[in-house]
Amino acid sequence: MLLNKIYQWARLKPRKPALIYNDTVWDYADFAKSIAMARNALQKDELPQGATVVILARNLFTSWPIIIALRSLGLTTLAVPSLAVAETLQIRNLSRIVTTQLSYGFFKLGKHSLSGINVTILPNFVQAEIHAADMPESPDQKVVPGAHILYTSGTTGAYKKLKIDTATEEEQNFIRARALSINSGTICQSNDVQPWTSVGFRTPCAVWNAGGCVVFNQSTDETQNVFDPIRFFRHHVNLSTIIP
């Protein structure tokens, strides 16, 4: 399970950078603590294991800890860009919508087929609170980790759902790491590639599984996905993923 690998790296190399978001750096200790904070908040909802949770959070600094936390609690995750997309996907066994933002127009839920689905609003993670938190213990191994659903066009051009369970993900992490020479020294530039895409989910998982670092440069304008050469060279990137 990816969470166990992140916790392992947090114990072995706590000060090693794991996630850089617009020049703000989380080391592996920060990353593990942020996931634990999300787990603690989400456990209070007592969500049923095996259910699916939709995540509405474009901010990659907060969406990744939520995804990993929910999956470690036995829930299947699906990150989407909007409520409209979530509605069209017709997800079975949908239990909750989790978001860090109030800007998605939940007041309009009555007009959607998602009406009646409870919404959990998590606060954005504060760096000072993360630093002050204790290093988390490894989670209960009795919980079967949840899957992640991609909303991706792949190579066909037609968007579809693709469910990736933990066993498949672990195999793909190994294959991707071998194919792209990913290791603990990897610093991967992932720009603003979101976790509902194949590259946006699979590559960061493979990098963190190996103890490397993922660099996200996210434009303040959500309609733009801008390559920033200054940040690219500032963080000594040695691997970059590019999508059409």
HEC string of 184-207 equals: CCCEEECCCCCCCCHHHHHHHHHH
In this structure, which topology does domain 2-240 adopt according to CATH?
A: Rossmann fold (3.40.50)
Taken in order 35, 37, 39, 41, the sign of the CA dihedral is negative
Q: How far is CA 177 from the centre of its chain?
A: 18
pTM: 0.88
| Coil vs helix vs strand at 235 | coil
Angle at 225 between CA 201 and CA 194, to 5 degrees: 15
Paired tokens of 32:
């593990």
One digit per residue, the tens of pLDDT, for the chain of length 244 reads 899 999 999 999 999 999 998 888 999 999 999 999 999 889 888 888 888 999 987 788 888 999 999 999 999 999 988 877 888 888 878 888 888 776 555 545 444 556 677 888 887 777 778 888 888 887 766 788 999 999 877 667 777 888 999 999 999 999 999 999 999 999 999 878 888 888 889 999 999 999 999 998 766 555 455 566 777 788 889 998 776 6
Residue 24: CB atoms within 10 A of its CB come to 11
Q: Kindly give, in sequence order, each residue whose CB lies less than 8 Å from that of residue 12, ignoring residues fewer than 6 positions away.
A: 211
Number of alpha carbons in the 13 Å side-chain half-sphere of residue 108: 9
Residue 113: CB atoms within 10 A of its CB come to 12
Q: Where are the domains of the chain?
A: 2-240
Nearest of 46, 235, 72 to residue 141 by alpha carbon? 72
Helix (H) or strand (E) holding 154: none
